[in-house]
Amino acid sequence: MSAVWRASRAAVKRRRLQTVVIGLVVFCSTATVLLALGLLDAVSNPFDRAFEKQRGAHQVVLFDAAKVSAGQLAETAGRPGVAAAAGPFDQATARLEKSPPGVGSGAFRVVGRADPAGPVDRPELRDGRWATATGEIVLNEDGDLVRPELLGSKVQLVDGPELTVVGVYSSMSSSADAWVTPEQMAALHPTARQMLYRFDAAGSAEQLESGLASATAGLPAEARTAARSSASLEEAFSGTAKAYLPFMTVFGVLALLVSVLIVANVVSGAVVSGFRHIGVLKALGFTPNQVVGVYLTMVSLPAVIGAVLGTVLGAALAQPVLRVAFQGVMRGTAVVEVSPWVYLVCLLGLPALVAVAALLPALRAHRLSAAQAISAGSAPRSGRGLRVQRALGGTRLPRAVSLGLGQPFARPARTALTVAAILLGVTTVTLTTGLTSTMVQYADSGKRDGGASLDIRVGRAAFEQTEPKLTDRQMEALLRSLPGVERVSAQAISQVKLAGYQQSSAGFFLRGDQDPGDIRQIVEGRPATGAGELVASPTFLSQHGLAVGDRVTLELEGRRTTATVVGKSIDGDARFFFSTWATLLELEPSAGAAYYDVRLKPGADVQAYVDAVRAAEPGLYPGVVDDGNLAADTVVSFASVFTVLLTVVAALGVFNTVLLNTRERRRDLGMLKSIGMTPRQVTVMFVTSMAVLGLLAGLVGIPLGMVAHRVLVDNVGSVDFPAVMKDVWHLPELSLLALAGVVIAVLGAYVPARSAARLTIAKVLHTE
């Protein structure tokens, strides 16, 4: 056994507690870092991975078959900037007469393709096979679940043939709702041609636009009827996650910073406190390199164990956390998981960080002579620290307190790292409590007043459901008449075009009782109440260049009406707007409700109401609605997890600092106790030394956390928080937060302080 290994092993054994602390800090830090990096990676990457695997289309472009020939389109494949192209494929937009449950209603994009291969957009097989004959159809399905019942089921097109489902594929390009053979397509009388392009440069929206312009240059004007870029697909993919991506990023960065600081503090402190030992090793004949080797081995051992265990814990936490984060997100074939590089960074990066943190002070010791190292290990501090101690000695404070207040000045570098760690801890706690408060209010704003909420859909034969016998108004009257009901509103959804915009939007038209919750959802203006009024989300308004007060023209099957934007909601989908029934009647006089939103009285029997509805009208399909807010729940959960992890890490950092101080000051402690310092005074002295840092960190960390909170909530693109949700700070909360740093510091300091108080004086003074 080499001398270095023997000395390292002895040092690890002799400093068991410190070894455990280093291991624990690295363990918690690794888990935190893995979670943080894993989240950041998972939010941005799964779409790209799956998209590239399928050679997804950067642009899916639709042309009017009457205005451009297949030959002209085929030539666009060779245009500058086009890396690959597929098509032209004929496309028909069909309406479904009958389809299996869960297969889309309304407009249904059917594309004629001979096979799923090709240079662009290779849909991935999920079940069955590709269509090879007329009468066969292949569905494009998202989601995790494979539904074997789809194979063999029938799809009946309005005024068209009945087709048999022979396969289910998934296209990350979302190039169609279904595919048939080119021969079958001819029978569907296609009016459009589809081209799929991949470009040399597709890193930004501008590049996607210029690629499209280059590919379609020279084609007849107005031949292009629609185009969808991969950017909008990605937006749709991670739209839900993006609502809280800024929060995740900040949590991740904070977690990284706190972890790095604490690890650096703990490890460098361990080496600095070992200077005397280093001097002894040198005196024994260890070469400077051997000394550095001893110390690197000593800290690397617990660091490697901590990193491995931390990676295991982080991996175990990451999967359920990612599941929560991506709940309800359209995923296609994308697999949401932590990339291998994240594990690699954690397994190698944290021990490397520990090695670097140990190396710096070890190299300093490397340069010192044995005598210098020994004296540095027990050296009196000089300069400012002494002056501060002296000044404090003259104050009226109890001496144990003034001694404690002076301690941090003895080791300014260690103090600075400790303060930084607590400061970041306090900033995190402030930020997370603020976010939690904002998100709880945000979640509450989405909740409706009263008891349970029911979503009652009107049955449609196209979905193989029973059609109702009662009329729209009769159904509403029925729902109002049943026991337990408090409010009823009817809703219709129609694809409405806004004049001047290519894409149509989904208009939600409401009739009946307005829920007071709707008013809470309005961040600017007011809810829509009269004819020609609409309300939309911040993203809808920004994407359409609209603001509250603007007027737009709505078009539906040849009818037009004007509407004024009277309100902006807190959040919502960029494709939806909300208006009144009176507005819908202008566009579609015979419109009927697609579903009814029923709110029961608090305490009403939900099941009894549902049974009553089913018995009275079998054509109504009631379902209980969960008012929960996924984004809010996710942020609150993450905030809690990160707060706990970072508080533990910060407290461990403080614990370690006090431990080192205690070890370095054993002789002083023995002396102080020998002249009558009580155990309580010793505890007070050490706890004070950290509490003052906690207070300082609190005073700086709170404003920092408040600023971070404001910056974050102001930059969530999909949510526009009203002032009341952003002004979450009040005196009681701030007072409690001011104590947060002190609490973290005291939590970390108390145990080693108590242990210092119990030191056996005779032993200490004897060993010194």
Partner 1 sequence: MTTDHDSDRQVVVQLDGVHKEYGDLKALDGVSLEIRAGEAVAVMGPSGCGKSTLLNMVAGLDRPSAGTVRVNGHDLGGLNETGLALFRRRQVGMIFQFFNLLDDLPALDNVALAAQLTGTPAKQARHRALELFEELGIADRRNTYPAALSGGERQRVAVARALMNRPALLLADEPTGALDSRSGEQVMDLLIDLNQIGQTLLIVTHDPKLAHRCASRLVEFADGRVARESALERQL
CB nearer to partner 1: pick between 339 and 755: 755
Distance CA 346, CA 313 (A): 12
How many Cα atoms occupy the beta-carbon half-sphere of 417 within 13 Å?
A: 21
Q: Interface with partner 1 includes 225 (CB under 8 A)?
A: no
Residue ranges with strand state E in 45-114: 59-64, 82-98, 107-112
**Which of 187, 256, 347, 765 lies at the binding interface for partner 1 (CB under 8 A)?**
765
- Tokens 């108590």 appear where? 754
In sign, the C-alpha dihedral spanning 645, 651, 654, 655 is: negative
Q: Interface with partner 1 includes 413 (CB under 8 A)?
A: no
Minimum distance from CB of 374 to partner 1 (Å)? 15
**Of the listed pieces 570-578, 729-737, 738-746, 752-760, which binds partner 1 according to CB under 8 A?**
752-760
**Of the listed pieces 21-29, 166-174, 386-394, 746-754, which binds partner 1 according to CB under 8 A?**
386-394
Short-list 658, 663, 664, CA closest to 690: 658
Written as six digits, the tokens of 275 are 């200077």
Answer for the pair 659, 17: CB distance below 8 angstroms, yes or no. yes
Minimum distance from CB of 684 to partner 1 (Å)? 12
Written as six digits, the tokens of 739 are 């104590």
Site for partner 1 in 292-351 (CB under 8 A): none
Q: Interface with partner 1 includes 767 (CB under 8 A)?
A: no
CB nearer to partner 1: pick between 78 and 394: 394
CB nearer to partner 1: pick between 474 and 760: 760
Site for partner 1 in 654-693 (CB under 8 A): 667-668, 670-681
Site string for partner 1, 463-502 (x = CB under 8 A): ----------------------------------------
The identity of residue 503, as a single letter, is Q
Cis ω on the peptide bond leading into residue 88 (within 30° of 0)? yes
Minimum distance from CB of 753 to partner 1 (Å)? 14
**Which of 49, 67, 366, 399 lies at the binding interface for partner 1 (CB under 8 A)?**
399
Distance CA 232, CA 683 (A): 60
CB nearer to partner 1: pick between 558 and 676: 676
Cβ neighbours of residue 562 closer than 8 Å, sequence gap 6 or more? 532, 551, 552, 553, 554
CB nearer to partner 1: pick between 412 and 516: 412
Minimum distance from CB of 391 to partner 1 (Å)? 10
Minimum distance from CB of 678 to partner 1 (Å)? 4
Minimum distance from CB of 397 to partner 1 (Å)? 9
**Which of 328, 394, 558, 589 lies at the binding interface for partner 1 (CB under 8 A)?**
394
Answer for the pair 28, 302: CB distance below 8 angstroms, yes or no. no
**Of the listed pieces 5-13, 175-183, 393-401, 455-463, which binds partner 1 according to CB under 8 A?**
393-401
Residue 601 phi/psi, 5-degree rounding, is -70, 150
Minimum distance from CB of 419 to partner 1 (Å)? 20
Residue 20 phi/psi, 5-degree rounding, is -65, -40
Q: Interface with partner 1 includes 730 (CB under 8 A)?
A: no
Cβ neighbours of residue 148 closer than 8 Å, sequence gap 6 or more? 127
DSSP H helical ranges for 665-727:
666-674, 679-714, 723-726
- Partners of 624 in the β-ladder: 454
Cis ω on the peptide bond leading into residue 408 (within 30° of 0)? no
Site for partner 1 in 346-385 (CB under 8 A): 379-381, 385
Distance CA 13, CA 140 (A): 62
Distance CA 41, CA 724 (A): 33
CB nearer to partner 1: pick between 585 and 765: 765
**Which of 104, 106, 393, 703 lies at the binding interface for partner 1 (CB under 8 A)?**
393
**Which of 410, 482, 598, 650 lies at the binding interface for partner 1 (CB under 8 A)?**
410
Minimum distance from CB of 405 to partner 1 (Å)? 13
How many Cα atoms occupy the beta-carbon half-sphere of 395 within 13 Å?
A: 15
CB nearer to partner 1: pick between 399 and 447: 399
Written as six digits, the tokens of 100 are 């299996």
- Is residue 420 exposed (0-12), middle (13-18) or buried (19+ Cβ within 10 Å)? buried
Site string for partner 1, 129-158 (x = CB under 8 A): ------------------------------
Distance CA 562, CA 575 (A): 18
- Tokens 């494949």 appear where? 77
CB nearer to partner 1: pick between 71 and 676: 676
Answer for the pair 698, 429: CB distance below 8 angstroms, yes or no. no
Site for partner 1 in 597-626 (CB under 8 A): none
According to DSSP, residue 139 is labeled: E
CB nearer to partner 1: pick between 381 and 559: 381
Task: Report the SS3 class of residue 441.
Answer: helix
CB nearer to partner 1: pick between 44 and 389: 389
CB nearer to partner 1: pick between 87 and 385: 385
Residues in contact with partner 1 by the rule CB under 8 A: 379-381, 385-386, 389-390, 393-396, 398-400, 406, 410, 667-668, 670-681, 757-758, 760-762, 765-766, 768
